[in-house]
Amino acid sequence: KRLLENFYIYGNIFWQEHNTSNYTGMGLVACINGQICSHWYIYNNTAVGFQGDQVNNGVSWGDSDPSSTDINVYNNLWYGTNKISFAQSSSGQINHDYNAFFNDTNVTVSESNSQTSSVDPFADSTNGDFHLTAETKDGLHLSSPYDVDPDGVKRGSDNSIWTRGAYQYAPNSSSPDPPSNLVLSVH
């Protein structure tokens, strides 16, 4: 057995572009084959379009070594995905909360602070633009390096709401258009 520890999976987009019956297998993120997987931090990711009908398109430690511990799943957003669960090892649970499930089917995750919806929250999910068009509910506020999204936007910077998923909703973070019709005079 190998010890696989201290993995930090954050700010990613997992996208199955065409809704097919292709499988993710044991889980979108998983520890399998009896390996010891401890101290994993799965934060602020977006998973889109996983329609495989196998075991789990969520997070799975069900086939890990029983000594696997400290698995943390917070602030992730699943959209258009089938069969989402968080399968734990026999020795302990997966710590999870503040995840969002939009237009998903067969979700067997129970959380105190989860968010569910039937809308498409993205600017253009068909063409792979997974920036949000509206706020999600406030997620769990985490320390650096999890407090900055892939575009460099500080989470919660506009109104203190920590958006769930890879991208922080930040309607005012766009850069102004560059000036036009400039004339340079040299004297």
pTM: 0.85
- Say if CB 74 and CB 96 are below 8 A apart: yes
Pairing of strands 105-107, 122-124: unpaired
Going by C-alpha positions, the residue among 45, 43, 40 that lies closest to residue 140 is: 43
Going by C-alpha positions, the residue among 57, 50, 102 that lies closest to residue 79 is: 102
- Say if CB 63 and CB 26 are below 8 A apart: yes
Per-residue pLDDT of the chain (187 residues; tens, 9 = 90+): 788 999 999 999 988 876 555 555 566 788 888 889 899 999 999 988 877 666 566 787 778 888 888 999 999 999 988 777 777 766 667 899 999 999 877 788 889 999 999 999 999 998 999 999 999 999 999 999 999 999 999 998 878 999 999 999 988 755 444 556 656 556 5
